[in-house]
Amino acid sequence: MKEYGKALLALGLFALTACQSSSKPETAAGADAESDTCGASQYQSYVGKPLSAVSSLRFDTPVRAIPWNSTVTMDFNLRRLNFLADKSDTITKVYCG
């Protein structure tokens, strides 16, 4: 009887996970003006520039400059502007989150 209970529990968990919907997150390049809550579209011209170029700017929103291979928190904040850099310290992506 215990084996049937475990099997039913596992089957129930699988059924619940099948009900979840997955949505593809939008990037700043593909986002329209309504979903560009942090203003990332205004800073797309910084892609290809050194990450140090961001330090001279002043922002009204929270900003995060992310060097290559660095640890960042996983909290999602639509009002935060993120500058992501590669190994050569060049900005590769500007996005909200």
CATH of the domain at 74: 3.30.10.10
Whether 88 is covered by a domain: the verdict is: yes
Phi and psi torsions of 65, nearest 5°? -95, 120
8-state DSSP, 83: E
| pLDDT value at 81 more than 90 | yes
Q: Which domain holds residue 35?
A: 29-96
Q: Which residue has the higher pLDDT, 12 or 66?
A: 66
Report whether pLDDT(24) > 70: no
Grouping H, G, I as helix, E, B as strand and the rest as coil, residue 94 is strand
Helix ranges (DSSP H) in the chain: 2-18
Average pLDDT over residues 79-86: 95
- pLDDT per residue as tens digits for the range 27-75: 444 445 567 899 999 999 999 999 999 988 898 889 999 999 999 998 9
pLDDT band at 21, cuts 50/70/90?
low
1 inside domain:
no
Coil, strand or helix: which one is 92?
strand
Q: What is the number of structural domains in the chain?
A: 1
C-alpha span between 88 and 50 (Å, rounded): 8
Q: Residue 42 falls within a domain, yes or no?
A: yes
In a domain, 72, yes or no: yes
pTM over 0.75: no
Residue 78 falls inside a structural domain: yes
Task: Identify whether 64 is part of a domain.
Answer: yes
pLDDT for position 62: 93
